Amino acid sequence: MINLEPPKKAGALINQAYQAASQVLRPISRKYDRAEHAYPSELDMFAAVLDGLNSSGEGGAGAAGVRRDEKSSEKGNRNGGNLSTVLGTIEMCWGDVALLLSMPRQGLGNAAIASVANEEQLTRFGKLWAAMAITEPDCGSDSAAITTTAVEDGDSYILNGEKIFVTSGQRADAVVVWATLDKSKGRAAIKSFVVEKGTPGFEVVRLEHKLGIRASDTAVLRFENCRVPKENLLGSPEVDTKKGFAGVMQTFDNTRPLVAAMAIGVARAALEETSRILSEAGVKVDYDQPANTQHAAAAAYLELEADYEAAYLLTLESAWMADNRKPNSLQASMAKAKAGRSVVDITLKCVELAGAFGYTEESLLEKWARDSKILDIFEGTQQIQQLIVARRVLGKTSSELK
């Protein structure tokens, strides 16, 4: 049985994350939104704190991995690192999602390493800040269409290709790059490689100017005859056409609940601010009365809260399943789809409910509305998540349901 209340043992972590968000992230949120691409130096101290939380097994607000030990003798329900990380992420993104994405050693590439690396790689790459490079100029939602190549050459692989929209692509110490070992073998040949900064043939081409999450750097990367040691390939080098895309796709089982948690944090921030504004305007939200008997703004607010609660519970479920060694691909996509769509709807409606005040920089509501859209896009768009859910529910393969 799943109890979707936050476990008591996570209370200290939630409080620590909330204090960091309220005392540090929220006060500098507008500053770094305006100073696009400027590195938030205030984050260095908190990165060290999160490192300690992660290494202690308590989980932080960044990159825990979905690692399942089927031989584990532990009985009963387990609330572990994945759930703790989701809960911490919600609190931190209540402060500022772009600043969390800028946190050293808490990148989506770190989640990939934590999910699929072997024990030796975990030790070797554990202290690096790793970005994730998947999307290409001609390959967006269909990750299987990746054209970046990795050709075996002695004790190395030679990478060639270009990646776009790489979060923390300039600041990170390394990048987890998705590349194909053999285009003719389709999805099964897609593998992920850890490429460290300074590797010859690895170039940061430019940084993108964006609608939202401006504090986070988003880079275009190029790999030209970039030689990467064989031991930097995450997981097995074997191309198993029966297993297909499962190896690298395991990463998404972890990162999609994290992105859903980011969306929940932003949505909660917008709802709390809107509740304050409505209260000051004399609009009372009464939870004991039907919505249709209340002020129109109160009725709209209740609808938004219901959407938020559904996304929140789906996200906790997907993280709990990972902690308890249960396949969570369906639930991860459901959480990402629901939270990604809900945060956009919630933040835009909150701007509307706040009127002219919500549209100005006097409030962070307009910023949250801009930040929210990327949470519906990256780590798999809304449409892709719905397609994955449909395939899982109907028992269809990717070739049967496109």
How do residues 179-213 score in pLDDT, each as one tens digit? 999 988 888 899 999 999 999 999 999 999 999 99
Q: How far apart are CA 381 and CA 207, in angstroms?
A: 22
| Contact between 85 and 7 (Cβ < 8 Å) | no
Sequence-ordered list of residues with C-beta below 8 angstroms from that of 271, at least 6 positions apart, any chain = 301, 304, 305, 308, 346, 350
- Quickly count: other Cβ atoms within 10 Å of residue 184's Cβ: 6
User: 4 CB contacts (<8 Å, ≥6 apart)?
Assistant: 313, 316, 317, 320
Same domain for 202 and 329, yes or no, is: no
pTM for this structure? Answer: 0.91
Say yes or no: 135 and 72 in one domain: no
Residues 207 and 257 in one domain: no
Q: How far are the Cα atoms of 75, 78, 319, 325 from residue 71, in angstroms, in the given order?
A: 11, 15, 20, 10
| Predicted confidence (pLDDT) at residue 174 exceeds the cutoff of 70 | yes
Q: Does the structure show a pLDDT above 80 at 356?
A: yes
In a domain, 3, yes or no: no
- Mean pLDDT of the residues in the chain: 89
pLDDT of residue 73: 47
111 in a structural domain: yes
Same domain? 367 vs 386: yes
- Assign 65 a pLDDT band (cuts: 50, 70, 90): low
Q: How far is CA 119 from CA 123, 323, 364, 366, 396, in A?
A: 6, 18, 43, 44, 34
Instruction: Tell whether 259 and 368 lie within a shared domain.
Output: yes
Q: How many domains does the chain have?
A: 3
What distance in Å separates the CA atoms of residue 108 and residue 105, rounded to the nearest whole number? 9
Q: Are residues 256 and 388 in the same domain?
A: yes
pLDDT tens profile 228-241: 999 999 988 888 76
Q: Is residue 239 a part of any domain in this protein?
A: no
- Mark whether 87 and 16 lie in a shared domain: yes
Domain that holds residue 307: 246-394
Question: Which residue, 114, 95, 104, is CA-closest to 49?
Answer: 104
pLDDT at 241: 62
pLDDT digits (tens, 9 = 90+) for 359-397: 999 999 999 999 999 999 988 899 999 999 999 999 998
pLDDT value for 259: 94
Nearest to 363 by CA among 352, 373, 377, 376: 352
Tokens 């609190």 sit on residue = 91
Residues marked active site are found at: 379
pLDDT band at 307 (very low <50, low <70, confident <90, very high): very high
pLDDT at 252: 81
Torsional sign, CA 121, 122, 126, 132: positive
Residue identified by tokens 């919630």 is 346
